[in-house]
Amino acid sequence: MDQHSLPQHDTLRQGYMPKSRLAVSLLFLMNGFVTGSWAPKIPEFKDKLGISESILGLLILVFGIGSLVLMPIAGGYIAKLGSQKVVRVTAVILSPLLFLLTLVSNIWTAIPAMFLLGGFVGAMDVAMNANAVEVEKSMRRAIMSSCHAYWSLGGLIGSASGGVIMAQFGVLPHALLVTLFCVAVLGIAWPMIHADKPHPDVAKQKLRLPLTPLPWLIGLVALFSMVPEGTVLDWGALYLRNELGASVALSGFGFAAFSATMAIMRFAGDHVRDRFGGVKTLRICTLTALVGLLLAGLSPTAPLAILGFALAGVGISNMVPIAFSAAGNMPGLAPGIGLSVATFMGYSGMLFAPSLIGFVAEHTGFAIIFTCVPILFIVVLLLSHHAAHADLKGRD
What does the pLDDT look like over 174-202, one tens digit per residue? Answer: 999 999 999 999 999 999 998 887 765 55
Domains plus CATH for the chain? 14-390 (1.20.1250.20)
Low-confidence ranges of the chain (pLDDT < 50): 1-17, 206-207, 335, 394-396
Query: What HEC string does the chain produce?
Result: CCHHHCCHHHHHHHCHHHHHHHHHHHHHHHHHHHHHHHCCHHHHHHHHHCCCHHHHHHHHHHHHHHHHHHHHHHHHHHHHHCHHHHHHHHHHHHCCHHHHHHHCCCHHHHHHHHHHHHHHHHHHHHHHHHHHHHHHHHHCCCCHHHHHHHHHHHHHHHHHHHHHHHHHHCHHHHHHHHHHHHHHHHHHHHHHCCCCCCCHHHHHHCCCCCCCCHHHHHHHHHHHHHHHHHHHHHHHHHHHHHHCCCCHHHHCHHHHHHHHHHHHHHHHHHHHHHHHCHHHHHHHHHHHHHHHHHHHHHCCCHHHHHHHHHHHHHHHCCHHHHHHHHHCCCCCCCCCHHHHHHHHHHHHHHHCHHHHHHHHHHHHCHHHHHHHHHHHHHHHHHHHHHHHHHCCCCCC
Give the angle 72-334-151 at the CA atoms, nearest 5°.
50
pLDDT for position 199: 60
pLDDT for position 28: 95
pLDDT for position 168: 87
pLDDT for position 332: 65
pLDDT for position 5: 40
